[in-house]
Amino acid sequence: MKKLIALPSVLAVTLVAISAAAAVADTATHVNRSVIRSVENNLNERFSRIWPDTPMALTSHTRGLYLDGYGAVFTLEMNIASDGVSLMTTNLTPQMKVQVKKLKIERVPQLQKALSQALVDAAASLDPVPLDENVVIEIDLLRYTWEDGAGYPAELLAQSTRRKLLDVKRANGVGLEAAVHVTERN
């Protein structure tokens, strides 16, 4: 009677694991860093010039990454209204502080609209991202140390699936409010 030669169990498990990893690697989405970097640059350009009277609105470069199975996520920091402090004006009056806060409250809806449109435009540039995965942009809204922050959020988060965003793009903006979910966080 012939004896069957059995592979040691560790070797057998290793071979199965290698073949499973190869199968996953063949089906996994690969989003090239250059695709993410292109969207980062577009967002930097868009948000750095959103308000001409606040040239330093964008306070950090946009950072993006792709998460397998979830989608593309981008984050940045903004100051949506300048306090006017300079070499010529070093102290803020209470009236100036009230004006800065009022301006920030007025600009939040403008920023939400720009953020939603930026999400649509980003989705169009993210071809390797699967249609049912997400595109997310998060903006931290910086506050001065003297601000109480009541009346406007500290963070805006906009998200949707790439499929919904491309549908909005093809419809020239129709359905934008329904497709994009914007969350305000304090």
Query: Tokens 């199975």 correspond to what residue?
Result: 69
Model confidence pTM above 0.75? yes
In a domain, 20, yes or no: no
CA–CA gap between residue 75 and residue 138 (Å, rounded): 5
CA–CA gap between residue 159 and residue 183 (Å, rounded): 9
Predicted confidence (pLDDT) per residue in 5-50, tens digit = 444 444 343 334 444 444 444 455 689 999 999 999 999 999 999 9
In a domain, 11, yes or no: no
For the chain, what is the domain count? 1
Domain boundaries, position 162: 30-185
In a domain, 6, yes or no: no
In a domain, 150, yes or no: yes
In a domain, 94, yes or no: yes
